[in-house]
A = this chain, B = another copy of it.
């Protein structure tokens, strides 16, 4: 009874846990957990850190742009920005002379918090990279991009 499958799996696999999607989810979950633990010591959540990192390298991004860059909705990013603003880590003008997008910038304190937390996050990335054959890293990054693009990411 169990070997009767209404549809064939995309590639030979007896178990869901063998599927690409499952592996991808497991790796992402492990990364999220590791970052959660590491960032807690710095008083930051993962979305907050992602937001600060993005703002450090692309100052002046708007709420909607940050949301797209961190793969959350505008509404979610809005509450993240409020939290960061309440802590004095970012600054955002109340109005603008052109358009509706409000450019966001890191404060000196925000930059300091980011740099302190960054070393912990980079250590995690180092662990991930060291876990795989170094010659396959470029191909892995390219494949992840291709899969995301194929799914409309």
The verdict on A151 contacting chain B, using a C-beta distance below 8 Å, is yes
With most chain B CB atoms within 10 A of its CB, the pick from A54, A57, A115, A150 is A150
The verdict on A74 contacting chain B, using a C-beta distance below 8 Å, is no
Complex Cα gap A150–B131 (Å): 6
The verdict on A87 contacting chain B, using a C-beta distance below 8 Å, is no
Complex Cα gap A105–B30 (Å): 28
CB distance from A59 to the nearest CB of B (A): 8
The verdict on A109 contacting chain B, using a C-beta distance below 8 Å, is no
Contact assessment for B28 and A25 in the assembled complex, using a CB-CB cutoff below 8 Å: yes
Interface size on A, residues (CB 8 A): 65
Copies of this chain, whole number = 2
The verdict on A97 contacting chain B, using a C-beta distance below 8 Å, is no
Q: Which residues of B contact A14 (CB under 8 A)?
A: 57
The verdict on A88 contacting chain B, using a C-beta distance below 8 Å, is no
Contact assessment for A28 and B33 in the assembled complex, using a CB-CB cutoff below 8 Å: no
Of B119, B124, B132, the contact of A151 (CB 8 Å cutoff): B124
Contact assessment for A124 and B21 in the assembled complex, using a CB-CB cutoff below 8 Å: yes
Q: Can you name 28 A-B residue pairings with CB atoms under 8 Å? A: A6-B119, A9-B125, A10-B129, A11-B125, A14-B57, A15-B57, A20-B137, A20-B140, A21-B124, A23-B141, A23-B148, A26-B71, A26-B144, A27-B144, A27-B148, A30-B148, A31-B147, A31-B151, A33-B152, A124-B151, A127-B151, A128-B147, A130-B150, A131-B147, A132-B143, A133-B143, A136-B143, A140-B140
